[in-house]
Amino acid sequence: MTTPRLAWHDVHAGDELPPLELEMTATRIVAGAIATRDFMPVHHDRDYAQQQGAADIFMNILSTNAYCSRFLTDWAGPEARVTRLAIRLGVPVHPGSTLRFTGRVTATSEQGAEGLVEVEFRATNELGDHVTGTAEVGLPLGPDGG
Amino acid sequence: MAEPSTLQERLAAFVGQPVGSSDVTAAPDPVNLPMIRHWAAAFEDANPVYTDPAAAARSRFGEIVAPPLMLQTWTMATPTITGIAERGGSPVDNPSGGALAVLADAGFSATLASNSEFEIVRYLHLGELVSASTVIESISDEKRTRLGPGYFVTWVTTYRDESGEVVGRQRFRILRFKPGAGGP
């Protein structure tokens, strides 16, 4: 059995990553908070979140990082190694919104046995940019990875 | 020794110092498949190198690896659920004054996360025990922001394996501001 993967020689600056669109339900937000061991009530208790001035519960940052990583490796495949993920945080993610990731390759380079891909991306919802960021992903070079 | 007088001087004393009461936080559990599976299910991340031993063995990783952005999860404090709301969401009793307490006492009590930057040095395998140490890297001068006057506080968490080798770093920046002091 083979697993889908991205071949290094097929990656070029300007390539667009397949968008990732997520319907953000309360269940998705709470599941992410607990799976990342973040028990702050603003991420699972609507009454508490509203007492704090938020419109509703909102997604935690560990979940944002998790979805960024998934967006990258859904495209780059199981041989990929995420080496850097830098995000600037914007509007919150509440239940009932749609979060859409888009991104593109900005540069490629080779370092040792690895091909490095620079990506810039953003995730937006109805309120604006939830995150904008850059990442670096390593792919294997050589006969098996090329 | 003269007592530092200004807020800026008091804040400067925290730069380069650990955040919180202890220098190093050890993960309560080693990297393990049940937590990885829970994480992968929550985010519907189907990458087989996280949960499928056979697929992971065929990959360049050679065995199961933890999702790289799970790094922070391993060292999250095991929470005391009772009273968590009354503690403002802090998972455990947190008597550690520090820069954030000084800012809160000066009225800069609200927090907005601004930036997160992860560097993943290497992927983790099952059974590895991670520890984290967090140091304040910088505290800005007072800035005018759209939310009101505030200070940007940046800290760097260094994650290490049991041998002390660095496996990753996270730089995290927040804005501490005076709630309700923003523009129209």
CA proximity to B155, closest of B100, B109, B102? B100
The pLDDT value recorded for residue B117 is 98
Q: What is the pLDDT of residues A35-88, one digit of tens each?
A: 999 999 999 999 999 998 899 999 999 999 999 999 999 999 999 999 999 999
pLDDT greater than 60 at residue B7: yes
| CATH topology for the A8-145 domain | Thiol Ester Dehydrase; Chain A (3.10.129)
The answer, for A89 touching chain B at a CB cutoff of 8 Å, is yes
The pLDDT value recorded for residue B79 is 93
The pLDDT value recorded for residue A142 is 67
pLDDT greater than 60 at residue A145: no
| CB atoms A66 and B43 under 8 Å | yes
Mean of pLDDT values over B127-139: 96
The pLDDT value recorded for residue A146 is 47
The answer, for A73 touching chain B at a CB cutoff of 8 Å, is yes
The answer, for B37 touching chain A at a CB cutoff of 8 Å, is no
Of A28, A39, A145, the CB nearest to B79: A39
Closest residue, chain B, to A69 (C-alpha): B69
As a whole number of angstroms, the distance between CA B172 and CA B154 comes to: 6
Closest residue, chain B, to A32 (C-alpha): B42
Closest residue, chain B, to A59 (C-alpha): B43
Residues A8 and A139: beta-carbon distance below 8 Å: yes
Mean model confidence pLDDT for chain B: 91
3-state SS, A47-108, equals HHHHHCCCCCCCCCHHHHHHHHHHHHHHHHCCCCEEEEEEEEECCCCCCCEEEEEEEEEEEE
pLDDT band at B100 (very low <50, low <70, confident <90, very high): confident
ipTM over 0.90: yes
The pLDDT value recorded for residue A118 is 98
For B:1-20, CB contacts with A below 8 A are none
Backbone angles phi, psi at B163, to 5 degrees: -85, 0
Q: What is the pLDDT of residues A105-144, one digit of tens each?
A: 999 999 988 999 999 999 999 999 999 999 999 999 865 5
As a whole number of angstroms, the distance between CA A80 and CA B59 comes to: 10
As a whole number of angstroms, the distance between CA B184 and CA B45 comes to: 42
pLDDT band at A6 (very low <50, low <70, confident <90, very high): confident
Mutate which of B35, B63, B69 to disrupt the A interface (most A C-beta within 10 Å)?
Answer: B69
| CB atoms A85 and B120 under 8 Å | yes
CA distance A14 to chain B (A): 23
The pLDDT value recorded for residue A2 is 43
Selected residue with higher pLDDT from B66 and A52: B66
Kindly report the pTM of this predicted structure.
0.94
The answer, for A39 touching chain B at a CB cutoff of 8 Å, is yes
Ordered structural domains, chain B, with CATH: 7-29+97-177 (3.10.129.10)
Selected residue with higher pLDDT from B23 and B172: B172
pLDDT band at B93 (very low <50, low <70, confident <90, very high): confident
